[in-house]
């Protein structure tokens, strides 16, 4: 299992380099921010702001900071849609005098983890900092390559993310409750199995609950589900029936398109789109009684106000509970921000996939690379 204290910190890097003054430091950030419109506009700069402590710490010590990130999934060649320009403009407002390279994924060697791409990145570079927690589950050139070549460290954001999530995984205050939502069981299977080893209760909302319903033989109407995951859901329920909390009521649309509240049996043609009020209250109580809470994934289609109540209730409970609260994943973080509750959570992770993978496996390719770089 990963030990965060085996990973070099910024202080270790400063010591290794003697001084940071005048040194060129490459910082891998995750500036993969949501964009909207044409020309693209940043709709949420959380990931940029989250990297500022590291960038500023380096600048205060006289380092020349070069930041690099991916943005979107441009498939290995330049695509103006995913240009770093809007990010560069925002970064310049928040922290002047930082050079920001063009989208790393404009080169096929980035995702292909080509050593030549990594070598190019560290040319003229004295040290490397990984602060891209949200991308550290990707064994891509900019994440795993540089630590083999130059003195390297984790940034403040990466460090805090790893400390918080490993504490949850290894030493949570109990009761420890996880609330999972989102559409697909298949995306979350690994983390569900890992969480069942550590949590006292696992509450499941989002469209994912319908595959669990189907595994119990309940009719789900036209709701989203994954037929090939039914067996898996049955097995998960059989090993942890007592600790898995599924919705007891559902809000959705009738076959005629009317909003309605259903029980756990959906009529023909009906579509479940949110947890119901009874379930929202129950999940809220579970969260209020917990001492540690991890929440990932909305409870319903909260972008539509008619189906936002379940996600809002969970977000409110996560904000109100005295428990130590951690929220992971872009959608849940966006929901929190939309409800104005993001300041009331102990830790909002900048990583979706990365936070789930760290909880599941206890380590990430980016962390392994930093640890091994130190030994080299
Ligand atoms: C994310 O947004 O999850 C990270 O930036 C990683 O992006 P990716 O899923 O495209 O690898
Ligand atoms: Mg992603």
Q: Tell me the pLDDT band of 194, cut-offs 50, 70 and 90.
A: very high
Pinpoint the alpha helices (H) of 257-343.
277-288, 309-320, 330-338
Query: What Cα–Cα distance (Å) separates residue 28 from each residue in 10, 116, 163, 188?
Result: 14, 17, 19, 26
Q: Could you tell me the distance, in angstroms and rounded to a whole number, from the CA of residue 322 to the centre of ligand 2?
A: 30
Contact 30, 134 (CB under 8 A): yes
pLDDT (0 to 100) of residue 330: 78
Taking only the tens place, the pLDDT of each residue in 144-159 is 999 999 999 999 999 9
Contact 326, 168 (CB under 8 A): yes
Bridge pairing between strands 347-348 and 244-245: unpaired
Contact 251, 275 (CB under 8 A): yes
Mean pLDDT for the stretch of residues 2-27: 94
Q: Exposed e or buried b for every residue in 34-64, given b needs 16+ CB within 10 A? A: ebeeeebebebbbbbebbbebbebbbebebb
Nearest one of 21, 66, 32, 14 to 352, comparing CA atoms: 32
Is residue 366 in contact with ligand 1, taking CB distance under 6 Å? no
Q: Is the pLDDT of residue 89 over 80?
A: yes
pLDDT (0 to 100) of residue 1: 46
CA pseudo-torsion sign 108, 112, 113, 119: negative
Is residue 73 in contact with ligand 1, taking CB distance under 6 Å? yes
Q: Tell me the pLDDT band of 375, cut-offs 50, 70 and 90.
A: low
Contact 131, 155 (CB under 8 A): yes
61 belongs to the catalytic site: no
Percent of the chain with pLDDT over 90: 93
Taking each helix axis from N to C terminus, what angle separates 230-240 and 185-198, rounded to the nearest 10 degrees?
10
Is residue 138 in contact with ligand 1, taking CB distance under 6 Å? yes
Nearest CA, atom 7, ligand 1: 135
Taking only the tens place, the pLDDT of each residue in 224-269 is 999 999 999 999 999 999 999 999 999 999 999 999 999 999 999 9
Percent of the chain with pLDDT over 70: 99
Taking only the tens place, the pLDDT of each residue in 37-64 is 999 999 999 999 999 999 999 999 999 9
Q: Is the pLDDT of residue 2 over 60?
A: no
Taking the model in full, what pTM does it have?
0.93
Q: Which atom of ligand 1 is nearest to the CA of 352?
A: 3
Mean pLDDT for the stretch of residues 295-316: 97
Q: Which atom of ligand 1 is nearest to the CA of 354?
A: 3
Taking only the tens place, the pLDDT of each residue in 91-110 is 999 999 999 999 999 999 99
Q: Round to whole Å and give the CA distance between 93 and 183.
A: 36
Which ligand neighbours the alpha carbon of 355 most closely? Answer: 1
Q: Considering the chain, what is the average pLDDT of its residues?
A: 96
Q: Round to whole Å and give the CA distance between 10 and 58.
A: 8
Taking only the tens place, the pLDDT of each residue in 311-354 is 999 999 999 999 999 999 878 888 998 999 999 999 999 999 99
CA pseudo-torsion sign 51, 56, 57, 58: positive
Q: Which residues pair with 351 in a beta bridge?
A: none
Bridge pairing between strands 35-36 and 41-42: antiparallel
Q: Round to whole Å and give the CA distance between 202 and 179.
A: 6
Q: Could you tell me the distance, in angstroms and rounded to a whole number, from the CA of residue 93 to the centre of ligand 2?
A: 26
Q: Round to whole Å and give the CA distance between 268 and 339.
A: 33
Is residue 134 in contact with ligand 1, taking CB distance under 6 Å? yes
DSSP letter for 267, please.
Answer: P
Q: Round to whole Å and give the CA distance between 256 and 250.
A: 17
């Amino acid at each position: 299992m990963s030990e965060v204290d085996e990973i070099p910190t910024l202080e270790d890097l400063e010591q290794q380099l003697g001084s940071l003054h005048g040194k060129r430091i490459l910082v891998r950030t995750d500036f993969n921010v949501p964009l909207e419109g044409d020309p693209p506009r940043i709709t949420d700069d959380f990931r940029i702001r989250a990297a500022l402590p590291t960038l500023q710490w380096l600048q205060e010590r006289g380092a020349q900071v070069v930041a690099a990130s991916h943005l979107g999934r441009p498939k290995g060649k330049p695509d103006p849609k995913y240009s770093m320009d809007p990010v560069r403009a925002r970064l310049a407002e928040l922290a002047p005098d930082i050079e920001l390279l063009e989208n790393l994924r404009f080169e096929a060697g980035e995702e292909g983890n080509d050593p030549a791409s990594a070598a190019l990145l560290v040319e003229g570079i004295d040290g490397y900092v990984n602060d891209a927690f949200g991308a550290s589950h990707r064994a891509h050139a900019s994440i795993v390559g540089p630590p083999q070549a130059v003195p390297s460290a984790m940034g403040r954001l990466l460090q805090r993310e790893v400390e918080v999530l490993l504490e949850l995984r290894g030493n949570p205050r109990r009761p420890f409750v996880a609330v999972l939502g989102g559409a697909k069981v298949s995306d979350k299977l690994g983390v569900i199995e890992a969480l069942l080893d550590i949590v006292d209760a696992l509450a499941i909302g989002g469209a994912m609950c319908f595959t669990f319903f189907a595994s119990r033989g309940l009719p789900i109407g036209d709701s989203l589900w994954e037929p090939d995951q039914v067996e898996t859901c049955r097995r998960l329920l059989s090993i942890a029936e007592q600790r898995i909390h599924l919705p007891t009521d559902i809000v959705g649309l009738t076959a005629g398109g009317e909003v309605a509240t259903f029980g756990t049996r959906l009529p023909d043609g009906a579509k479940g789109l949110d947890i119901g009020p009874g379930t929202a209250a129950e999940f809220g109580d579970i969260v209020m009684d917990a001492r540690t809470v991890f929440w990932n994934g909305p409870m319903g289609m909260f972008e539509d106000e008619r189906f936002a109540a379940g996600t809002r209730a969970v977000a409110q409970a996560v904000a109100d509970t005295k428990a130590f609260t951690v929220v992971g994943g872009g959608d849940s973080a966006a929901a929190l921000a939309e409800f104005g509750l993001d300041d009331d959570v102990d830790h909002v992770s900048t990583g979706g996939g990365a936070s789930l993978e760290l909880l599941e496996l206890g380590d990430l390719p980016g962390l392994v690379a930093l640890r091994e770089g130190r030994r080299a």
